[in-house]
Structure 1
Amino acid sequence: MSGRQGGKLKPLKKPKDKNKEIDESDLAHKKKQQEEKKRLEELKKQAQQKGPLVGGGIKKSGGKK
């Protein structure tokens, strides 16, 4: 069993802590992020309803003469 067996063995991954303590500041931050996400989604929906923004401008003619 030589070959790839050399060196230190990697330690096993420990399970993630599920009982993580949450402060009021953490709750406020999460709430703020959710509100930002909702606001961005609403803005995206409104932008899609208005249509494309690149319709106007100077249009060039076919080719050079």
Structure 2
Amino acid sequence: MSGREGGKKKLKAPKKESKELDDDDLALKQKLKEQQKALQEAKAKASQKGPLTSGGIKKSGKK
């Protein structure tokens, strides 16, 4: 008994037609690209510095 017995072969999804982009779509793509670039720059800046926390768990001086 094979696992495909009696089943239908799944067809590939049809390729989506490339729709023309209007000004709103282009503006949205540009905005997303700028946000991604800003995020990458922020990551680069953050990685240059050390970790923000240096002590871990802080203990009081009391015993």
Both structures adopt the same fold (TM-score exceeding 0.5): yes
TM-score with structure 1 setting the length: 0.63
Q: 1:5 to 1:49 in 2, by over 3 A?
A: same
Q: 1:59 to 1:24 in 2, by over 3 A?
A: same
Identity %: 55
TM-score with structure 2 setting the length: 0.65
| Amino acid of the structure 1 residue aligned with 2:23 | E
Instruction: Decide which structure has the larger Cα Rg and report it.
Output: 1
Deviation of 1:59 (Å): 3.2
Unaligned 5+ runs, structure 2 = none
Deviation of 1:50 (Å): 1.3
User: Over aligned residue pairs, what C-alpha RMSD do you find?
Assistant: 3.0
1:39 paired residue number = 38
Say yes or no: does 1:52 pair with 2:30.
no
| Amino acid of the structure 2 residue aligned with 1:54 | T
Q: Distance in 2 between matches of 1:56 and 1:29?
A: 43
Q: 1:51 to 1:5 in 2, by over 3 A?
A: same
